[in-house]
Chain A
Amino acid sequence: MPIPLHIVVCAGIVPDPLQTLEPITGPGLKNEMLLPAVLDPWAASALYEAAALAAKNPGSKVWLVSLGPKAKLQQVMMTIAQKVPFELIPIDGPIGGFPDAHSTAAVLAETIAALPGLDRSRLLLFGGWESANRGAGVTLQLVGERLGITDQFQGVDQITLRDDGSFEVLERVEGGKHQVSVCLGAPAVLGWATGNLAEPRNNPQIGMANMRTLMPALQKAKPATLAPNGLRYVSVALPKQQRTTRVVKDLTPDEIAAELAAWIGAE
């Protein structure tokens, strides 16, 4: 029997992984507003899993709550809006990994609590278990805590909903294994890892449907400022990564294998 769910996905935007990053005083990234941006990869997994879950349970609804500069959000949503159906709840705030996660969580929780029509007893709060910028893995947890949700799962790769509303969750734990848990049902927080779904293909019809609400929502995006909460950066730097590489071009496979065998066996 389908169970109508209210799924709220928290997803930030991050620089395209192929971009070169350079820190500047602030701290921040050099030309950060000019770097091509993408939806945070693990949060994107959460969005696709949310859409798949909603599709299997008619009557469900997916909200996408995203904090970032309005212009960058609009740029990223031009692509994401073609993937899966959702209602965008944009928050106009700073970009980047250096703002404090506690402040980000407070803004997100306040926004989610005020969502019109949200039934918290049916709420599944989704997001990435870590972002690709701050990568702290705490924002979603803090949002859940602020919303009073006491069943939380992180590093989720799978959720299986049961007829009685309970669900089984697979969470990543040490040693390449999953911890299997059964929760009585919503509300719950699920911080997604990769999940099992491929990125959906672009669907112009979905894009057109999303666009009807997306642009007005972006225009009405509330501004947010993030307090530092006593967080200070002493230094921000690129790592020293340059190694003196020996490029070996003239050895036979036998000779390379012998060299590697000696290297592997050496303490």
Chain B
Amino acid sequence: MESILVLTHADDTGAILTKASLETVTAALALAARLSAPLTIGIVAADATPPANSLAATGSRLLAVSGEPFAQPRYATDAAACEALCRAAAATIVLVPGSSRFTRIAAAVAHRLHGFIDTHITSIAPQMQGAPGLASETRESDSPPSAVEATRWFYRQRIEAVLTRDARPWFLLLDAGTNAPYAAEPGSAQVEQIPVTLAEIRTTVTGLRSPQQGTQTIRPDAKLLFVAGAGWTKKQPDGQTHVPEAADLILGFLRSTSASLGSSKSLVDQGGEGQSVLPFLTHLNQIGQTGATPRHPKGLSTCCHGEEPHVVGWRFIAERRAISLDPNCGWSRGKADVVYVADAFQVILKLNALLTQAQS
């Protein structure tokens, strides 16, 4: 019989669990119910009481590793904390949120427990299932039915696979944004404190730093992703580049819509090649084959081509529209819902005016 542990951690404030942690609790509750498996929740926080109280309604066994060393994300302390939680829970399946904090240590913890890990899991199913609607599917015919199957992407979101493992413990690191965050009225929770003996701590976390002064253009919770392509810095019909104007238009749009800004690799790379660049763009904005694959309900692409390396950056965008001067752009081959064949400079100028007018 399977038993399930979900690992969670507090956010920067220390008072609540991170959204990714709460999403993993949702997935764990669903899996535990389907497998009729006991569920344990482990918490890593400086003070685990407030986060634990938010989980009281789950009725699960709650374990915690607490103390000042666990206030900050750090490999040595987080790995030790999660190892202790896993040993105390002795679960066969461990669900882990795909946060930067736990992504840093989950594989190491699996190794210490003589277990195995699969990451970037987008869904978990308790029994063999097909992948409805998938094209060109290759089903591994000799795969016997198994208790748990996990779905994840390979080749940077270009191939989707359903996999399973016999080996236990099996760690599954869930991608953020794939489940609804767990929410319930806080209660009074009974928490078992798990002691941890730490070796020498050689790393000190000194804080967080934004990549540049000024506007923060990456907003993971935004409803809209705005993608700027290299066309913004190319010569326009008057034979000149208009990079400052492009920057004003893009920032104006971001201010009006609170959208998150993504960029193509080619645009970000121009900085290293000595060309004019948009001053607020960094590699952190990069989406696609060598960048992020963010999750947003809507996406608007401007001045991009639609080659596959770009498209992988859009894999998890629900509604997609694009503005491109090229009527034969790759976007018109079934990758966007709407393609506007137009000059993005003109359209965004008008759009910003409309959005500003609507706000006022």
Contact = CB atoms under 8 A, between A and B. Distances in A.
Interface in A242-261: 242-249, 251, 253-254, 256-258, 260-261
B138 A24 contact: yes
A38 to B, nearest CB: 11
A82 to B, nearest CB: 18
A12 interface: no
B156 interface: yes
Contact of A157 (B157, B159, B283): B283
Interface in B135-182: 135-141, 143, 146, 149, 153-167
Contacts of B257: 264
Nearest to B20: A174
B336 A243 contact: yes
Contact of A178 (B162, B209, B291): B209
A234 B152 CA distance: 12
Q: Which 5 A/B pairs are nearest by Cβ-Cβ distance? A: A176-B218, A198-B272, A257-B350, A138-B107, A230-B167
Given A231-B116, A235-B130, A249-B327, A243 B337 contact: yes
A39 interface: no
Q: SS class of chain A's interface: helix, strand, loop or mixed?
A: mixed
B138 A256 contact: no
Contact of B211 (A101, A171, A176, A198): A176
B309 interface: yes
B341 A151 contact: no
Contact of A150 (B199, B284, B349): B199
Contacts of B141: 25
Nearest to A20: B308
A151 B75 contact: yes
Interface of A: 14-15, 17-18, 20-25, 27, 29, 41-42, 97-98, 100-102, 132-138, 141-142, 144-146, 150-155, 157, 168, 170-185, 193-198, 229-249, 251, 253-254, 256-258, 260-261, 263-265
Interface stretch (B39-47, B52-60, B117-125, B184-192): B117-125
B82 interface: no
Nearest to B261: A176
Contacts of A180: 205-209
B67 interface: no
A136 B119 contact: yes
A182 B206 CA distance: 7
A174 B104 contact: no
Given A230-B165, A232-B163, 16 more contacts: A22-B136, A135-B155, A141-B107, A176-B220, A179-B100, A180-B209, A193-B283, A198-B269, A230-B116, A236-B162, A237-B137, A242-B135, A244-B334, A245-B332, A263-B319, A264-B355
B160 A245 contact: no
Contacts of B339: 245-248
13 contacts: A20-B308, A41-B290, A132-B289, A135-B154, A142-B108, A170-B209, A172-B284, A175-B219, A176-B211, A178-B211, A245-B335, A253-B349, A258-B354
Interface string B323-360: 10001000111111111111100111111011100100
Looking at B75, B286, B309, B350, the one whose CB has the most chain A CB atoms below 10 A away is: B75
Chain B contact-residue range equals 35 or more
Contact of A155 (B100, B211, B321, B342): B100
Given A27-B138, A233-B162, A243-B336, A177 B347 contact: no
A252 B289 CA distance: 33
Nearest to B226: A264
Given A24-B138, A248-B339, A231 B154 contact: no
A238 B203 contact: no
Contacts of A137: 103, 107, 119-120
Given A171-B100, A179-B205, A141 B155 contact: no
B240 interface: no
B1 interface: no
B76 interface: yes
Contacts of A241: 311, 334-335
B342 A247 contact: no
B300 interface: yes
Contacts of A177: 208-211
A261 B354 contact: yes
A242 B334 contact: yes
Contacts of B336: 243, 245
Contacts of B105: 141, 152
B156 A132 contact: yes
B347 A27 contact: no
A253 B289 contact: no
A256 B163 contact: no
Given A242-B334, A253-B342, A263-B298, A133 B99 contact: no
A264 B298 contact: yes
Contacts of A182: 203-204, 206
A170 to B, nearest CB: 7
